[in-house]
C-alpha cells in the first residue's frame, strides 16, 4: 500500500499577500522593508495592543500569521544571520486588524477583509508622513496622512457627504479613501478613519 503524503502549505509571506500590481511582485521594486523589531516598535509607538490589551509581541505576530490574519515576513541573510523583514505596510495592516476585531469582525470575513487591505496597501511603495497637524475630526489610519491644505479643502465635503448618507440612507462607514493617480500610473492613497461619536448625523459626525 502506497503511503500518501500531504503537501505542505506554501509559506505565505508579505509578497504572497500583495496585489498583482503591488510593489515587490511582478517585477516591481520592493516597498520599504522593516525588521521585526522595527515593526513591533512602530506598533508600540502607535499604542496598538492585542485584544487582551497587552503589547504586541513576536508571539502575537506568529499567532496572527497562523490564523491567516497577517502575512509572514521574508527571511534574508545567511544561516545564523537571518533577518525577518516585513513590508512597511504590515504595521498599518495590523492597526486595521485591531480596528476590525474591536468592531466585532472575526472568522472568514475578517480574513477576507485583511487580504483586501493588504492588496490596497501593497500598491503604495512607501509611507510618506506629512508633518502637518490633522483636523480634530479626522482619524488618519493608513497609509498617508493628509497635508493641511488638502485636509481643509477635502475633509469638510467628505464629512457632509457621510452625514447625508447616514441621514438619507442609514449608511455608516469605517473609512474614506482618496486615490491620486500619477501620469506614470503610480497610485497614492490617502485614508482617513471614520468614527461616529453620537447618534446624530451632523457635519461634525466624523472623527
- pLDDT single digits (tens) 23-54: 999 888 898 899 999 999 999 988 999 999 99
Read off the pTM.
0.60
Query: 106 Cβ partners below 8 Å, 6+ apart?
Result: none
> Quick one: cell of 43?
506598533
The SS3 call for residue 161 is helix
In the chain, which stretches have pLDDT less than 70?
A: 1-10, 126-152, 186-189, 191-207
The SS3 call for residue 24 is coil
pLDDT on residue 176: 75
Separation CA 36–CA 64 (nearest Å) = 14
Q: Are 72 and 90 in contact (CB under 8 A)?
A: no
pLDDT on residue 205: 31
Query: 44 Cβ partners below 8 Å, 6+ apart?
Result: 55, 56
pLDDT on residue 68: 95
Query: 168 Cβ partners below 8 Å, 6+ apart?
Result: none
Separation CA 58–CA 55 (nearest Å) = 10
pLDDT on residue 70: 97
Radius of gyration of the chain (CA): 19
Strands (E), the chain: 33-35, 74-76, 83-87, 139-140, 175-181, 187-193
pLDDT on residue 54: 94
> Quick one: cell of 65?
500569521
Separation CA 138–CA 36 (nearest Å) = 29
Separation CA 52–CA 60 (nearest Å) = 11
CA distances to 18, 84, 157 from 189, rounded to whole Å, are 16, 27, 18
Amino acid at each position: 500500500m502506497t503511503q500518501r503524503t500531504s503537501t505542505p502549505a506554501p509559506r505565505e509571506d508579505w509578497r504572497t499577500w500583495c496585489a498583482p500590481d503591488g510593489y515587490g511582485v511582478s517585477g516591481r521594486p520592493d516597498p520599504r522593508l522593516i525588521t521585526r523589531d522595527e515593526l513591533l516598535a512602530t506598533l508600540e509607538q502607535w499604542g496598538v495592543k492585542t485584544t487582551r490589551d497587552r503589547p504586541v509581541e513576536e508571539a502575537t505576530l506568529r499567532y496572527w500569521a497562523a490564523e491567516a490574519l497577517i502575512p509572514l515576513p521574508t527571511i534574508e541573510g545567511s544561516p545564523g544571520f537571518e533577518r525577518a523583514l516585513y513590508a512597511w505596510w504590515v504595521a498599518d495592516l495590523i492597526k486595521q486588524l485591531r480596528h476590525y476585531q474591536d468592531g466585532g469582525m472575526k472568522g472568514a470575513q475578517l480574513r477576507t477583509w485583511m487580504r483586501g487591505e493588504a492588496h490596497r496597501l501593497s500598491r503604495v511603495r512607501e509611507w510618506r508622513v506629512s508633518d502637518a497637524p490633522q483636523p480634530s475630526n479626522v482619524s488618519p489610519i493608513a497609509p498617508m496622512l493628509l497635508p493641511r491644505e488638502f485636509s481643509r479643502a477635502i475633509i469638510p465635503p467628505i464629512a457632509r457627504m457621510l452625514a447625508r448618507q447616514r441621514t438619507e440612507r442609514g449608511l455608516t462607514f469605517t473609512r474614506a479613501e482618496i486615490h491620486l493617480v500619477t501620469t506614470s500610473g503610480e497610485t497614492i492613497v490617502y485614508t482617513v478613519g471614520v468614527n461616529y461619536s453620537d447618534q446624530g448625523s451632523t457635519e461634525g459626525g466624523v472623527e
